Structures are given as C-alpha cells and as structure tokens.
C-alpha cells in the first residue's frame, strides 16, 4: 500500500521553473519556446529568460526552441528547476551576394530575402530586352510593357505602387557590377551577357543602399572572361511573330449601336449631339485594339 502511494505521488503533475541563457555571452533569452513534447502545451520565456510550465510527471520531456540556437530536449525526472544553456547553430553559409557598391558579405548578414536568376533562365525565352527576360522569374515582381515600341521602358514593380520617401518613385534601384545605373542602361544590354541577377526585395536592403532601395534592388552581375582549354563560339538567333493570345476581353466591349443606345437611355448626351456623332462618324464599329496590337508583328533576336 505504501509503495503504491509513493508511485502515485511521483506521477502527479508538477510545476517546473528555470531560466534559459546563451552560451556565447551568458545573456538571458526572452521569448524562447518551451514546449511539452508530444502535446500542444507550451510557454515562452519572459523578458528575463524565466519560464514556468506544468508537466504531468517525471517522464515528461521539455523542448527548448529558439531561432539561431540548437533545439534541446530534456527529461524532467524528479527536478522542479531546470536551467538551460542554449548553444548557437554553427553552419557554414556558402551563398554570397554582392551588396552596397562592391562589398561582399554573407547573405545571412545582409538582407532577409534575395531571389537569384541565373544566366540560363535569362536566355531560355525570347525577350525584347533584359527586363522582359525577368518576367515570371521572381516572385512578387511585375514586369509590364507600356507599349510595343522596342525602345520603350518596362514598368518594374517589386512592392506594388505606393509612396516612397525622398521622392524615390515606385521603381527599384538598379545596380550593375557595383555601380548604380538607370533602367534604360540595363534594357540596352544583352541578357546573354549577364551571369546572374539578384533581386533584393527585403526592406533591410535600405540599410545597404539607403532610401533609394525602398522599392527593392535589382543587382546584375555580368559575365567575366574565363580561361578554357578549348575555345568555342556560340551564336544564337530567334525569330517569332507577335499575336494576341486571348481576345475575349475585347469581344465584350460595346459596339457603336450599343453605345448610342446607352447614351439615349442615360441621357448623358443631347439628342442633337448623338445625331451629330452619327452624321460625322457613322455607326460602324471599329476594333481599335487591332490597331494597337498589331497581329503577326515580327520579333527577332541575335547574339
């Protein structure tokens, strides 16, 4: 009877407290997650690194999780106070991004989010210019062509349209091999000459480039000469015809008769004005999109 009572007492719920510190400098770790393994129960440490959690018994296992630290699992046993020293995660990071204007640092210490596009993806599809080649390659980046003119600048948006400090506009900052340039300069270059395009979309890019990077940074690294055992020359040529893939949107537009009927019904125009329009232009319907989007417009690229 006595032995049974002792075993039951040991299995009763108990409260475990403690403090969590870092092995690097001994500082306490606030907002660290302390969870009971195998359940949804958990707490976080306070500003001084202290925690308090109720466990069902001595077999309970506590998980200590903190960003940048190795996760620890500790069995409670007969203890009511468990102090934990967290060890930092020591991993080598090979990926490097060139930041600022020519200074190289590890990506983890510079910006929070970088999307990279390699040279093979840039030349995989025919494009009128370098910016059009980036369309669909970077999440969250929109590339819109203002017109069909070959020299027209594309509209690039990384964070959408909005207000930007110091009059920086909505366009991202363009940097090529460490030098800030205009969008027109980049669009005049051959995408086949690019080694890599890094798109910095995180807000921390402003700490590197200042307010001009509030809408993101497009950093271009060009190809450099390399020694090779056998020299070779590569030539590419592409030709295509531009055609509007889907005209359903334009087919829903009003024709002339429908537009005139709407004006009469809403009385937005005087009857005399409506008759004047008919006398001047007639009632023929013009599909203006056919003039704007020229069918079978040739497009070619050689490099």
Q: Kindly report the CATH number assigned to the domain that includes residue 66.
A: 2.60.40.1120
Say yes or no: 189 and 214 in one domain.
Answer: yes
Beta strand 96-99 with 84-86 is: unpaired
Domain end position, chosen among 32, 59, 86: 86
In a domain, 291, yes or no: yes
For the chain, the domain total comes to 3
Residue 104: the pLDDT is 47
* Backbone Cα Rg of the chain: 32
Domain of 264? 237-302
Examine the domain organization and report whether 291 and 244 are in the same domain. Answer: yes
Task: Say whether both 72 and 48 belong to one domain.
Answer: yes
Q: Is residue 298 part of a domain?
A: yes
**Is residue 194 assigned to a domain?**
yes
CA 151 vs CA 197, 209, 238, 273, 280: distances in Å? 21, 28, 19, 41, 37
Same domain, 65 and 140: no
Among candidate residues 157, 192, 222, the one where a domain is terminated: 222
Domain membership of residue 229 (yes or no) is no
The reply to whether 137 and 187 lie within a common domain is: yes
Please indicate, yes or no, whether residues 13 and 64 belong to a single structural domain of this protein.
yes
CB neighbours (10 Å) of residue 267? 8
Domain-located, residue 232? no
What pLDDT, on a 0 to 100 scale, did the predictor assign at position 109?
Answer: 47
- How distant is the alpha carbon of residue 184 from its chain centre? 23
Instruction: Evaluate whether 198 touches 97 at the Cβ level (below 8 Å).
Output: yes
The closest of 32, 33, 31, 39 to 13, measured between CA atoms, is: 39
Asked if the structure places residue 91 within a domain, the reply is no
Taking the chain (303 residues) in runs of 10, the rounded mean pLDDT of each run is 48 89 91 90 92 92 90 92 89 52 47 75 74 78 68 72 53 85 82 85 72 82 76 76 76 82 82 83 78 74 73
Same domain assignment for residues 202 and 117: yes
231 inside domain: no
- 65 and 180 fall within a common domain: no
User: What's the length of the chain?
Assistant: 303
Do 107 and 215 belong together in one domain? yes
pLDDT at residue number 80: 92
Q: Enter the tokens of residue 95.
A: 């990926």
Phi, psi of 200 (to 5 degrees): -95, 110
In this prediction, residue 166 carries a pLDDT of 46
The verdict on residue 230 lying in a domain is no
Residue 64 sits in the same domain as residue 32: yes
**Among 34, 62, 86, residue at a domain's last position:** 86
Task: Name the E strands within the chain.
Answer: 14-22, 33-36, 42-44, 50-55, 61-65, 72-75, 84-86, 96-99, 103-106, 114-118, 142-145, 154-157, 173-176, 179-181, 194-200, 217-222, 237-242, 297-302
Confidence (pLDDT) at 110? 53
Write down the pLDDT at residue 111: 53
């Amino acid at each position: 009877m006595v032995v049974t009572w002792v075993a039951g007492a040991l299995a009763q719920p108990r409260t475990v407290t403690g403090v969590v510190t870092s092995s690097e400098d001994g500082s306490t770790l606030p907002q660290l997650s302390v969870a009971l393994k195998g359940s949804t129960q958990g707490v976080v440490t306070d500003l001084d690194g202290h925690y308090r959690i109720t466990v069902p018994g001595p077999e309970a296992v506590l998980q200590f999780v903190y960003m940048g630290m190795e996760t620890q699992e500790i069995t409670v046993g007969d203890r009511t106070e468990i102090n934990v020293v967290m060890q930092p995660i020591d991993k080598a990071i090979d990926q490097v991004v060139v930041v600022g204007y020519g200074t190289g640092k590890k990506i983890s210490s510079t910006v929070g989010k970088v999307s990279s596009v390699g040279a093979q993806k840039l030349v995989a599809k025919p494009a009128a210019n370098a910016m059009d080649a980036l369309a669909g390659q970077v999440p969250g980046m929109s590339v819109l062509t203002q017109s069909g003119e070959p020299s027209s600048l594309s509209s690039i948006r990384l964070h959408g349209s909005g207000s930007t400090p110091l009059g920086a506009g909505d366009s991202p900052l363009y940097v090529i091999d460490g030098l800030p340039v205009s969008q027109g300069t980049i669009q005049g270059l051959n995408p086949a000459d690019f080694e890599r395009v890094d798109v910095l979309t995180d807000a921390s890019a402003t700490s590197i480039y200042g307010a001009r990077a509030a809408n993101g940074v497009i950093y271009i690294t060009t190809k450099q000469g390399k020694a090779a055992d056998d020299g070779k020359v590569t030539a590419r040529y592409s030709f295509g015809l531009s055609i509007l893939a889907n005209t359903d949107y334009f087919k829903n537009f009003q024709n002339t008769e429908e537009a005139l009927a709407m004006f009469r019904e809403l009385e937005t125009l005087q009857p005399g004005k409506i008759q004047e329009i008919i006398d001047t232009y007639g009632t023929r319907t013009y599909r203006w999109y056919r003039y704007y989007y020229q069918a079978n417009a040739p497009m070619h690229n050689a490099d």
